[in-house]
Amino acid sequence: MVTPAKTVGQQTPAANVVRSPDRAVGTPTTTIIGVGIDTSRYDHCVAFLNDQLQTAAPELQVVESAAGYAHLRQRFVKLVQ
């Protein structure tokens, strides 16, 4: 089953977002990053947006190959850090 993509202006369920003004210092928070992939036959363009729909990381051109997908994985790992 495919989950439909969120549309602009649609709210994220509160259960998925951690926002607490009185949280303890050093407590991790959740950061939302949207990933959009524009596909074509031989390569893909990947965009990364934050919850304000601003660029969270530079766009990435991904060649459809093991090396291209490894580069995409590296970008995901970098975003998590």
Residue 24 is predicted with a pLDDT of 60
Residue 68 belongs to domain spanning:
31-80
Residue 35 lies in a domain: yes
pLDDT recorded at residue 46: 94
pLDDT at 32: 85
Structure confidence at residue 45 (pLDDT): 94
Claim: this prediction has a pTM higher than 0.75: no
Residues facing 47 on adjacent strands: 36
d(CA 34, CA 51): 7
Has residue 1 been placed in a domain? no
Tens digit of pLDDT per residue, the chain (81 long)?
444 444 444 444 444 444 445 556 666 778 888 999 998 888 899 999 998 999 999 999 999 899 999 999 999 999 888
49 lies in some domain: yes
- Asked if the structure places residue 56 within a domain, the reply is yes
* Number of domains the chain contains: 1
Which pLDDT score is estimated for 22?
A: 55
